[in-house]
Amino acid sequence: MSTPNSLYSRIARRETTSPRSVLAITLAVLVIVLCVYAAVETALSMTGQPALVATPAAMADAFVGMAGSVLWILTIAGMIAAIVGFVLIVVSLTPGWRPRHLLPTGRMVTIVDDEVTASALARKASYEGNVDPDNARVSISRRRAVVTLTAISGTKIGTQPVKDAVAQQLSSFGLSPSLSSKVVVASERKVGA
Amino acid sequence: MNSTNRGMNRTFIFIIGLLLMVVGVAVAALSLLPAFRSGWQATAPAIKRGVDDVYAASPMFSTGTSWIGLGVIALLLVLIAALLVFIVKQGRGRTRRLIRDGHTENGVTIIDAAVAEDALRDALSDRPELISTSVSTYDVRGTPTLNVSVTARRGVSPKQVSQTVEAAVHALDSVLGREIPVVVQIGGAFRARTTASTRLQ
């Protein structure tokens, strides 16, 4: 049993970062396939059966004689392997933030998907700017919410009230990590809607 | 919420990445650095001969092969089994039991997780701002924890959803007589509109 606070912070951390399960399982499956192949090839060569691709002894010879093969192929293959390896190392060390934010509540841990926050902000901004909700686009990153409004042809959107309304609603959510807001009015306008 | 060992996931990815990078750099160096290439050509055959000698020195009866092959296969099978366990262990941690009260002179009280799950689902089922609710129970480090996952309707404030759920949770607290840890996940299922909305004049 752990205390509620450490339990909640553990859950909050785990729910906002990626478990990296998909990648780990994919790699594990690839390694399993390689192991199965190596085991089958070894068993075939031990029982004197013909090899599937090459016998272990032939593979060892090829490995030893690698320096004598075509050099540019070695360069490219080595570089690709090194880059993939580097990417895997980076992925294993970075947190992998999921598109979610925490909403402070005393009794529970609340995790909000960014699309929910975005759609609430879009509704607020579209009311305030007097456009159809479909003409309000919101994109949310970890620290920033950008609201883009497309005005109806022949009308103007007062930016300041929209800015205030969006900022006020964001601060009422009190999400963590906190989001700063930005309101953009698209330069093109749309007929209707 | 689940008991996936994330440290192990990341360690595994790191090790594979490190292996790939070391091998890749070595292979590229083989073609790019002449000194490394001539060093390889000088030493690699000798090392292989050494391995061949060890292989030949451990014959298996009179089959013409070596014990080492059998050892290699056994080692590979162990590795495969370990990786299969690693895969299967992902995403576990659900539990069926919510509360098990200490012994009293009259016995033990056990409350199933289904009690709390059904109560919460029922309390939230007819809320207009929610499309769907699902509740499950996970064992987080020995503490049963309720996971309330709700889908909000488009444009609804997450704050309002969280207050709705909190009210239901407080009601559950008073029914159970204790506070079970609760995690609320608010998601959206907003289908993209593929056609323009109809306009009425």
- Taking only the tens place, the pLDDT of each residue in A82-140 is 999 999 999 999 999 999 999 988 889 999 999 999 999 999 999 998 888 888 889 99
Alpha carbon of A52: minimum distance to chain B alpha carbons (Å): 16
Test B83 with A39 for CB contact under 8 angstroms.
no
Percent of chain A with pLDDT over 70: 97
Which residue type sits at B84? L
Q: Using 50, 70 and 90 to split pLDDT, how confident is the model at A48? A: confident
Residue holding tokens 């402070």? Answer: A104
B157 contacts in A (CB within 8 Å)?
120, 169, 173
Alpha carbon of B105: minimum distance to chain A alpha carbons (Å): 25
Q: At what angle do helices B113-125 and B158-176 cross, to 10 degrees?
A: 140
Q: How far apart are CA A14 and CA A86, in angstroms?
A: 24
A62 at the B interface (CB within 8 A)?
no
Test B24 with A111 for CB contact under 8 angstroms.
no
Residue holding tokens 């949310």? Answer: A140
For residues B90 and B66, which has the higher predicted lDDT (pLDDT)?
A: B90
Per 3-state DSSP, what percentage of chain A is helix, strand, and coil (rounded to 5)?
55, 15, 25
Test B142 with A109 for CB contact under 8 angstroms.
no
CATH class of the B97-199 domain in this structure? alpha beta
Nearest Cα to Cα of residue B122 among B106, B111, B133, B107: B133
- Taking only the tens place, the pLDDT of each residue in B184-200 is 999 987 655 555 555 56
A123 contacts in B (CB within 8 Å)?
154-155
Q: How far apart are CA A93 and CA B13, in angstroms?
A: 9
- Taking only the tens place, the pLDDT of each residue in A52-84 is 888 888 888 888 888 777 788 889 999 999 999
Please report the pLDDT score of residue A93 as a whole number.
95
Please check the confidence at residue B54 and state whether its pLDDT lies above 90. Answer: no
Identify the H or E element spanning B82. helix B67-88
All CATH 3.30.70.1350 domain ranges of chain B, comma separated, are 97-199
Enter the DSSP assignment of A98: -
Handedness of CA B54, B58, B64, B65 (dihedral sign): negative
Please report the pLDDT score of residue B147 as a whole number.
94
Q: Which of B47-61, B103-117, B158-172 has the lowest mean pLDDT?
A: B47-61
Q: How far is CA B150 from the centre of its chain?
A: 21
Average pLDDT over residues A155-161: 86
Task: For residue B172, give the chain A residue with the closest CA.
Answer: A107
Q: How far apart are CA A120 and CA A86, in angstroms?
A: 39
Please report the pLDDT score of residue A186 as a whole number.
86
Alpha carbon of B106: minimum distance to chain A alpha carbons (Å): 25
Which residues, listed in sequence order, are joined to residue B111 by a DSSP beta bridge? B99
Q: How far apart are CA B6 and CA A38, in angstroms?
A: 29
Residue holding tokens 């049963």? Answer: B144
Please check the confidence at residue B51 and state whether its pLDDT lies above 90. Answer: no
Test B26 with A78 for CB contact under 8 angstroms.
yes
Q: How far apart are CA A98 and CA A95, in angstroms?
A: 9
Please check the confidence at residue A1 and state whether its pLDDT lies above 50. Answer: no
Q: Which of residues 66-105 of A touch B (CB under 8 A)?
A: 66-68, 71-72, 74-75, 77-89, 91-93, 103, 105
Identify the H or E element spanning B171. helix B158-176
